[in-house]
Amino acid sequence: MRLTEGPKIRVPVPGEETKRIVSLDETYLATGTKGSPVAIKWGRGVRFEDLDGNLFLDFTNGMVAGTGHSHPRVVRAIQEQAEKFLFFNGPDFYYEVQSRIAQKLCQITPGDFPKKVFLSNSGAEANEAALKLSRSATGKKQFVAFLGAFHGRTMGALALTASKVVQRESFFPMMPGVTHLPFAYCYRCAYKMKPETCNFWCAQILEDLYFKSVLPPEEVAAVFMEPVQGEGGYVVPPVGFVQKIKKICEKYDILFVADEVQSGFGKTGEMFAIQHFGVVPDVINLGKAMASGLPMGATVFNSELDFPVQGRHSNTFGGNPISAVAALATIEAIEEEKLLENTRRMGDLFKKGLMDLMADIEEVGDVRGLGLMLAIELVKDRETKTPARELRDKVIENCYKNGLLLLPCGTSAIRFTPAMVINREEVEKGLEILRESILTALKN
């Protein structure tokens, strides 16, 4: 496969080989969250070939590998490390790449104060560590999170998650001590207010109502926030909302924890999404794209919060040497190949294309996002904003049949998060397929 070829559907999807894998998966893998029936043979950048020889554009991969499929620099680092050693009992002994990735994370995250890192294997685990760290450092037990938020599916992280009820259903009781507030989702304001005149009531309500009626502020350890809600719909809050929540945190000595598992590592055009809001968090949680597709999570925190004694928190594989070198190579690629600049340029181009779609098609109710973390929300009509969920699902299916892989988010939104290495031609081709797919879905 040439890297510039495609998308090209050679046999109707899913082809026979793909169907075979889908069937094997359905038989042996626990029911999860699978989407379009597509199985990869190999990939580079934002392109991949499926098992039946079809060539796709992958506008979902940036969520997990901002550097794209099998970035050569990352592959080389993994190969070289694998030749040296695969493990060295990380929680018990020492190796340089584990310390180096922690040092690098402390250097590139916002905050001009000494920091430390807990390394783990996933986003949920990064959030679990932040929950424990917050309780251990403050001696307080309560947390604040937001409706629409996704922080993971382990029992602690799940107590923070409030994106879709299916994620919580049948798992109660949750970890106690989490109060959820509506998020600043201005397109569908929970208070039916207007952003021009609301004065960020959705933030102020924490102090004016919650702290006075149900939640004593002196018992709150931390506020957890995704600076851009991911699973909840790629919702970008106003700068003033994030700043107001941070101010309230400072006033009442509450930690501000930014969950950047989805928004971090360059996708928004800044290394971390919180940098768009002029806020410095006490804790930043990372995962997904940080090791270009290898399992890795990190909780980066103000050193003052560190666990007081050995053994209070640990794990086995956190910062394992393969993930550690992959993360170092990922950061090197972002810095040396100017991927943030490309993300901003391609993000602007992409967003303009989405705005053009909104100008032409009534059912595209909203376009939002930062950099290459973009979304459209489909509605039945613009006045009522009734979510057009079936239309959304049909559009994703049509795109898939035409060689463009996409994922949903929120109730009726489609997220676009191609890897940061995407070029102009790939953006334009994706937009073309998207437009045709929406128009076809509307005709039927």
Ligand X SMILES: Cc1ncc(COP(=O)(O)O)c(C=O)c1O
Q: What residues from 396 to 425 belong to the interface with ligand X (CB under 6 A)? A: none
Query: Largest Cα–Cα distance of the chain, in whole Å?
Result: 64
**Cβ proximity to ligand X, 32 vs 308, nearer residue:** 32
Binding mask 176-215 for ligand X (x = CB under 6 A): ----------------------------------------
Q: Which stretch binds ligand X (CB under 6 A): 75-83, 150-158, 390-398, 416-424?
A: 150-158
Closest distance between ligand X and the C-beta of residue 124, in Å? 3
Distances (CA, A) of 407 to 59, 214, 415: 8, 38, 6
Contact 224, 157 (CB under 8 A): no
Q: Which stretch binds ligand X (CB under 6 A): 8-16, 99-107, 259-267, 416-424?
A: 259-267
**Cβ proximity to ligand X, 127 vs 299, nearer residue:** 127
Give the orientation angle of helix 424-443 with respect to helix 339-360, to 10 degrees: 30
Contact residue for ligand X among 49, 58, 128, 231 (CB under 6 A): 231
Give the orientation angle of helix 321-336 with respect to helix 96-108, to 10 degrees: 40
Closest distance between ligand X and the C-beta of residue 230, in Å? 4
- How far apart (Å, rounded) are the C-alpha atoms in residues 235 and 227? 9
Contact residue for ligand X among 261, 273, 422, 434 (CB under 6 A): 261
Contact 229, 409 (CB under 8 A): no
Contact residue for ligand X among 226, 282, 363, 377 (CB under 6 A): 226
H, E, C per residue of 382-416 = CCCCCECHHHHHHHHHHHHHCCEECEEECCCEEEE
Q: Which stretch binds ligand X (CB under 6 A): 75-83, 95-103, 147-155, 313-321?
A: 147-155
Give the burial string for 106-136 (b: 16+ CB within 10 Å, else e): beebbbeeebbbbbbbbbbbbbbbbbbbbbb
Q: Which stretch binds ligand X (CB under 6 A): 1-9, 255-263, 310-318, 329-337?
A: 255-263
Beta carbons within 10 angstroms of residue 228's beta carbon: 27
Beta carbons within 10 angstroms of residue 278's beta carbon: 11
Closest distance between ligand X and the C-beta of residue 167, in Å? 11
- How far apart (Å, rounded) are the C-alpha atoms in residues 353 and 356? 5
Using a 10 angstrom Cβ sphere, with 0-12 exposed, 13-18 middle and 19 or more buried, the burial of residue 373 is buried
Closest distance between ligand X and the C-beta of residue 385, in Å? 24
DSSP structure string for 23-75: HHHHHHSPP----S---EEEEEBTEEEETTS-EEEESSGGGT-TT-BT-HHHH
Closest distance between ligand X and the C-beta of residue 429, in Å? 27
Q: Which stretch binds ligand X (CB under 6 A): 38-46, 148-156, 167-175, 386-394?
A: 148-156
Closest distance between ligand X and the C-beta of residue 151, in Å? 5
Q: By three-state DSSP, how is residue 344 classified?
A: helix
Find where tokens 């009522």 sit: 384
Q: Which stretch binds ligand X (CB under 6 A): 101-109, 144-152, 166-174, 403-411?
A: 144-152
Contact residue for ligand X among 6, 15, 156, 230 (CB under 6 A): 230
Nearest residue to 237 via CA among 283, 282, 268: 268
**Cβ proximity to ligand X, 7 vs 318, nearer residue:** 318
Give the orientation angle of helix 424-443 with respect to helix 389-401, to 10 degrees: 130
Closest distance between ligand X and the C-beta of residue 311, in Å? 24
Q: Which stretch binds ligand X (CB under 6 A): 67-75, 145-153, 339-347, 394-402?
A: 145-153
**Cβ proximity to ligand X, 150 vs 201, nearer residue:** 150
- What is the number of the residue whose Cβ is closest to ligand X? 123
Q: What residues from 89 to 128 belong to the interface with ligand X (CB under 6 A)? A: 122-124, 127
Nearest residue to 18 via CA among 43, 2, 41, 34: 41
Nearest residue to 297 via CA among 105, 28, 100: 105
Nearest residue to 206 via CA among 141, 275, 240, 252: 252
Contact residue for ligand X among 6, 14, 68, 152 (CB under 6 A): 152
**Cβ proximity to ligand X, 226 vs 377, nearer residue:** 226
Closest distance between ligand X and the C-beta of residue 69, in Å? 18
Say how far residue 90 (Cα) sits from the centre of its chain: 26
Q: Which stretch binds ligand X (CB under 6 A): 27-35, 224-232, 250-258, 380-388?
A: 224-232
**Cβ proximity to ligand X, 7 vs 232, nearer residue:** 232
Closest distance between ligand X and the C-beta of residue 183, in Å? 13
Q: Does 287 bind ligand X (CB under 6 A)?
A: yes
Q: Which residues bind ligand X (CB under 6 A)?
A: 122-124, 127, 150-152, 226, 230-231, 259, 261-262, 287
